[in-house]
Structure 1
């Protein structure tokens, strides 16, 4: 299960809306959805979390390119919503690189069809061989620094309550809870 919300900073403060991602297939689609949903906002955040496994933040400031942060790249890579955020550039690979595992063959729980989950040791071996995405955070670690969440605080967030903690730091906890 996932949760996605859009927080838009306007002259009157933060506004939140529930964001449905079923029709979103690419980062461009997500960026367009965020821009359309909050045309009057100067800063827009799309917050996504999946079952306490990972969270991601997409930030748009005006017409600038989107900035992205994902707490656990490997967990997000096993999610269709996480894959939207995990661009080749974010993962530090060339577009079309074939030296990584075929993520399309993974179920949302992270296992191949009919295969048991890998142990942590096996995950580390696969990551070291370059066949999978690592479990480390990726993206812009300063994405929320000017809004009150430093890099250190962002990296220390627990996936289970990260979005609430972020919203609280922004002064938007109440508006986020209205769409949760």
Structure 2
């Protein structure tokens, strides 16, 4: 299973981003250690893991402590070693009040090729973990869950939208293009 892992840290001078290699990690604690190593003095450390254009996992550390995890679909734990490692121990479903509301205000970033049909989101996807982990940065649980459920959005699109909203979109885009 292929993946892209972008570590985004906010220190006193702003946001920075770097790609992480998770191939040798044995557990989620080692992933948290890698996040801390990116910037030991970071006020906020985020890790966006996009796997096989199907799954998004977001991890967060505040001042290097209290790891919080969100996964776009619990099935990721069954589909890969990395998924099991990242979200295998997360048992609580990511809940938010019904997402039946109008999603027009989300203005998602969609990088779709006109010659291809956009992928269809799995209606059986079960988001798990802390969907509210980005709320204080400007992305509510409702918005995060709505983005993950939006038909045609890939995990990379969700990451781009979230990063744009929290102010680190340019840093992640530069990392992706490198």
TM-score (normalizing by structure 2): 0.73
- Give the aligned partner of residue 18 of structure 1: 19
Q: CA deviation at 1:87?
A: 3.7
Mean alpha-carbon deviation: is it higher for 32-41 or for 77-86?
77-86
Q: Answer yes or no: is the 8 Å Cα contact 1:75–1:135 preserved in 2.
A: no
- Give the aligned partner of residue 73 of structure 1: 74
Looking at structure 1, the residues matched to 164 and 84 of structure 2 have their Cα atoms a distance apart, in angstroms, of 27
Looking at structure 2, the residues matched to 174 and 76 of structure 1 have their Cα atoms a distance apart, in angstroms, of 30
TM-score (normalizing by structure 1): 0.72
CA RMSD of aligned residues (A): 1.7
Moved over 4 A (4+): none
Find 1:170's aligned residue among 163, 166, 171: 166
Looking at structure 1, the residues matched to 53 and 161 of structure 2 have their Cα atoms a distance apart, in angstroms, of 13
- Give the aligned partner of residue 109 of structure 1: none
5+ residue gaps, structure 2: 93-122
Query: Are residue 83 (structure 1) and residue 79 (structure 2) matched?
Result: no
Q: Answer yes or no: is the 8 Å Cα contact 1:77–1:86 preserved in 2.
A: no
